[in-house]
Every structure is written in structure tokens, then in C-alpha cells.
Amino acid sequence: MRKSVAIVGIGQSEFKKNIGKNERRIALEAIKNALTDAGISPHEVDGLVRFNMENLSEVEVARNLGIENLRFFGEIGYGGGGACATVAHAQMAIETDRANVVVCWRARNRGSGVRPWAATGNRVPGDDQFSAPFGCVRPVDQIAMLTRRYMHEFGATWQHLGKVAVTIRDNATRNPQAMMQKPMTLADYEAARYVSEPLRLFDCCLESDGALAVVVVSAERARDLRNKPAYVLAASQGTGPDHVVMTNYYKKNFLETPSKYAAEELYRQAGVTAKDIDCAQFYDAFTPLVLFSLEEYGFCKPGEAPAFVDEGRIGPKGDLPVNTSGSSLSEAYVHGMNLIVEGVRQIRGTSTSQVKDAELSLVTSGAGVPTSAMILAGNPS
Amino acid sequence: MITERPMPLPDDATTEFWQACQKHELRMQRCASCKEFRWPPRPMCGACQSFDSEWIQVSGRGTIYSYVIAHAPMLPAFAPRAPFPIILVALDEDPAMRMIGNLIGDMREGLQIGAKVTVAFEEVGEVTLPQWKIVGA
Ligand SMILES: [Zn+2]
């Protein structure tokens, strides 16, 4: 239901290449910070939603926080596709009276820890048995394969990818929490090494240690709390037909991603269109995902995102400012949980790249994987 | 980090594919009931929900649909080849049936979207992998 719940607390750890603390510790710090921000006692928490890739269990969070009666808990799959879905599940739990105060979190020491692809085994099961033996194991290769075809079909160039990276870096330089503080030009972007052609180093997200958490309560409860609530206008999940997680090579419509389906469901619930959105935090594990998302979330037609970017429309003074914290490319890569927190800041008016009078704030999760999205709103009615 | 090259772990749906490769035949799973190809192989047909399938030998001809050039860092088994191409081939029999592979010898001559390729089997230990050659290169 529209605006039945709100995000009323946001919290995070520092973001670093090597934070020097374990995931359990930084998760608890982020959760504690989010509850303090909300002005809600940990004893009131009765719901938790985690990523299924999360190493920290609900019971461990409950024991450390002193939660007395954890009556709702669940987990979301598909890595970075799951971030907004954690809030979507919290929303359903609160609406159905299964919980009053739900915390969603993600903690990941990916900067100091191992690259998941580096743990590929000697014998690869499932669909990956048809790609790993050929050296196609890294997410960057998987997304580069989509990108090359996209560039071929629509005439996109490295400059379009570069402008996405440069715009987002510019936002990061205003955000003191962001890992990347050094300004970057298009020439800097071009000079960096390739990782998987056509993708270069700065097309790829950061390798970060960090944790974030959000607190979700009913709209009724939200009104009595200290922060301006970020109401959940709509929250959706989507996969689309014949989908094969990252190795999305086998479906009939090669360039279509689950985002298209999450977007349709999102706007159906919200009763608004892309034209009504004031700012967007697009999942940006890689720059081309921003181009794909501009199209699949309805801001332009297929193939028009490169021109949209060229015209400066995603910049802070454009008609759709995107990724205003520096996001996965330049703030931190924490499976997109930082995009939700930034989406909330835009509603509160506290972003370091604040969009004036932002009323509808779009947040999306992993593109190219089963995904989720939400629209946050500032006006309670 | 493993040092060996990752190899397939065949299962009940994929064993016949890999066995055919050992005979240097490219056989694709097709629904025995409604004749839709299933790729990658799986137990049930999404169109008619039949569990029955047949393994159809295809021509081994296709077109490069997309490709990347992989640079370091990567798994140690592939590092000596870097940078090397990974290609996506759309099969002539059904262009929606696309296979990831490499070019024999990592040759880059003629590498572009739309290039015609033919299958070329590569023995890696006990496994035979379907790889590709650019026609005319
Ligand atoms: Zn069938």
C-alpha cells in the first residue's frame, strides 16, 4: 500500500578499503547508528531482514542488540539485486501486523576480503558450467558482454560510459564519507587500464569494507519520530522471463534486464511515471548499468540513454540528478545499501548534492540480476 | 584461489551435452514434446512442462553476437593468456541460443560482432570443450 510505512532511521559504518574490523562489528555499528538516528530503542526491534549472502545471522544481531522477541525475520537472495527488496519485505511485514520495527542491513568486507569470483572451484555446477571453463567468471566480463552488444546496437561509445563515471565521481567529491575524493576528468577515465574491454577500471565499482542499516516503521509511528520520514510510495521486485542471474546471455531479448519488470511493477503500485521522479540512485556496480536503468526505468527510450547522459541531464543541475552520494562507483560498494540511505537523505534534504525540494526519490537495486526498486516520498498524504 | 582451470560439473541435465562434445559433436537439448530448444540444458520445458528431451546435433555454425577482451586480474589458470577474447556465439539453428566460448589460439584476426564462426573442439585433460574458429581467418 502506498505510504503505509517509512524509513525513519539510517546508519552506517565508515567506508574503507580495509576497515580493520570484522563484518559482525561493523554491521552492529551501522544498526546501532540507524536506531539512534531514528530515536528508537533496540528493545523495540521485532523484525530483521538480511541478504542471504550476509555472513551475520539474525539471531546474532538479536542477541547483541538485546531484542527480546524477534517475531519476523527473512532474507533476500541475488546479491545486489536484493537491497530494495529488504525494505519491500519489511513493508509487507508491518502492513500485515507481523512486526512493528524492522531493521534491514548489509555488512560486507569486500575491500579487504576475497573476490567472490576468485573462489571459483575446480568443477563448476549449474549454468556457470557453460561459461566458467572459458574464463568468463568475473561480473565485469559478464556485464562487458552486455555492454559491447549495447554499444553495437545503439552507437554508444566509451565517452558515454566515461561521462557516467565522471558525473558520479563529481558527486562523491562533495560527500566526505565517499572513498573517492579526487576529482576525475574524462581524460583520467580514458587513461585507466582495461579490465574487460570495453570496460575500464573506472567503469567498475569500488572494492569496499562497510555496513549500512535502515529502520522501517508504520507511517503512523513515523509521524511521532524525530526525522522527516521517507515514506515508501512503492517497492517492487522483478525477474522477467528466462533469466539466468548474471550470465544473462541466453534469453531471447538479450539486452532486456529484470529492471524492466521491477520498474513496471513499481510505477503500477506508485501511480506515478518516470516524469514525476526528482532524483534517482541507480545501482552502479558498473557504469553501463546506469545507461540500461535510465531506459528500463522509463527516463528515456531504448538506445537513448547515451544522448541523455551527453546532454548533462544526469548531473546535479540536470533534470534527473543521479547517484548523488557517489554511489557504488565512488562512495562505496555495499551491494547498493548506500543507495537506499542516500535516497532517504534526498527526502530529508540532507544530501551533500541535495536536489531542491526532492519529493519523489527513486532507488534501484542490482541490474542484470533478479532485482528490486522503490520510490521514497516526502509528503505523507 | 584455485590454480587449475575451472571445468564443468555435469549433472542430470547436462551430462549428454558434455558426452557429445567428447565425440566432437555439438548436440543441443530440445524438448521432445514441443520441439523448443532448452539452453542451457534443464530438466523441464518452460513452454510445455515436459520432462522429455532429445539431443539434436547442430551444424556448429554461428555468428559472434558479442565479445569481451579480458585483462588481469583473473584466475591464475587464465592469466598467462591475458588479455584474451571471450566470445558469445549465436547458433545458426536458433540465434536466441547463444554459447560462451573462446577462439582457438585466442586469435583476434577478424574478431568483430557479426563474424561467422565454426565450432572447434579443444581437449583439456579429460574434458572436451566446444570452442570456435572465425571462418576465413
Ligand atoms: Zn516443450
ipTM: 0.97
Query: Cβ contacts of residue A214 below 8 Å, gap of 6+?
Result: A7, A9, A10, A11, A34, A87, A103, A104, A105, A337, A340, A341, A344
In a domain, A34, yes or no: yes
In a domain, A300, yes or no: no
Q: Are A377 and A233 in contact (CB under 8 A)?
A: yes
- In the chain, the amino acid numbered A296 is E
A283 is catalytic: yes
Distance (angstroms) between ligand 1 centre and the Cα of B28 equals 14
Q: Name the burial class of residue B83, with classes exposed (0-12), middle (13-18) and buried (19+) by CB atoms within 10 angstroms of its CB.
A: middle
Closest approach of chain A CAs to the CA of B56, in angstroms?
18
Sort out which chain B residues have CB atoms less than 8 A from A138's CB and list them.
70, 74
Q: Quote the pLDDT of residue A297.
A: 98
Q: What is the pLDDT of residues A220-237, one digit of tens each?
A: 999 999 999 999 999 999
User: What residue ranges of chain B are covered by domains with CATH 2.40.50?
Assistant: 59-137
Distance (angstroms) between ligand 1 centre and the Cα of B52 equals 8
Q: What number of other Cβ atoms are within 10 A of residue A307's Cβ? A: 14
Residues 195-214, chain A, touching B (beta carbon < 8 A) = 195-199
User: Sign (positive/negative) of CA torsion A212, A213, A219, A221?
Assistant: negative
User: Which residue out of A141, A146, A249 would a mutagenesis test of the B interface target, given it has the greatest number of B Cβ atoms within 10 Å?
Assistant: A249
Catalytic residue from among A78, A150, A267, A283: A283
Q: Which residues pair with A104 in a beta bridge?
A: A49, A214
Report how many domains make up chain A. Answer: 1
- In the chain, the amino acid numbered A170 is D
CA closest to A122 among chain B residues: B6
Q: Quote the pLDDT of residue A106.
A: 98
Across the interface, whether the CB atoms of A149 and B113 are under 8 A apart is answered yes
User: Sign (positive/negative) of CA torsion A254, A255, A259, A260?
Assistant: negative
In a domain, A286, yes or no: no
In a domain, A101, yes or no: yes
CA closest to B104 among chain A residues: A134
Global pTM reads 0.97
Across the interface, whether the CB atoms of B71 and A242 are under 8 A apart is answered no
Torsion of CA A253, A255, A260, A261, to 10 degrees: 40
Domain that holds residue A107: 5-113+207-222
Distance (angstroms) between ligand 1 centre and the Cα of A238 equals 25
Q: Quote the pLDDT of residue B2.
A: 58
d(CA B68, CA A103): 40
- In the chain, the amino acid numbered A374 is M
Domain CATH code at residue A49: 3.40.47.10
Q: Quote the pLDDT of residue A119.
A: 84
Q: What is the pLDDT of residues B11-64, one digit of tens each?
A: 999 999 999 999 999 999 999 999 999 999 999 999 999 999 999 999 999 999
Q: Quote the pLDDT of residue A241.
A: 86
Q: Are B97 and B90 in contact (CB under 8 A)?
A: yes
Is A156 near chain B, with CB under 8 Å?
no
d(CA A160, CA A251): 26
In a domain, A64, yes or no: yes
Is B79 near chain A, with CB under 8 Å?
no
Q: Are A374 and A359 in contact (CB under 8 A)?
A: no
- Answer yes or no: is pLDDT of B1 > 60: no
Q: Quote the pLDDT of residue B136.
A: 87
Q: What is the pLDDT of residues A83-104, one digit of tens each?
A: 999 999 999 999 999 999 999 9
Residues (pLDDT < 50) of chain A are none
Q: Are A50 and A36 in contact (CB under 8 A)?
A: no
Q: Are A237 and A82 in contact (CB under 8 A)?
A: no
Average pLDDT over residues B125-136: 96
Domain B59-137 has CATH 2.30.30: no
A363 alpha-carbon distance from chain centroid: 7
Sort out which chain B residues have CB atoms less than 8 A from A200's CB and list them.
none
Residue A141, CB half-sphere, CA atoms under 13 Å: how many? 27
A333 is catalytic: yes
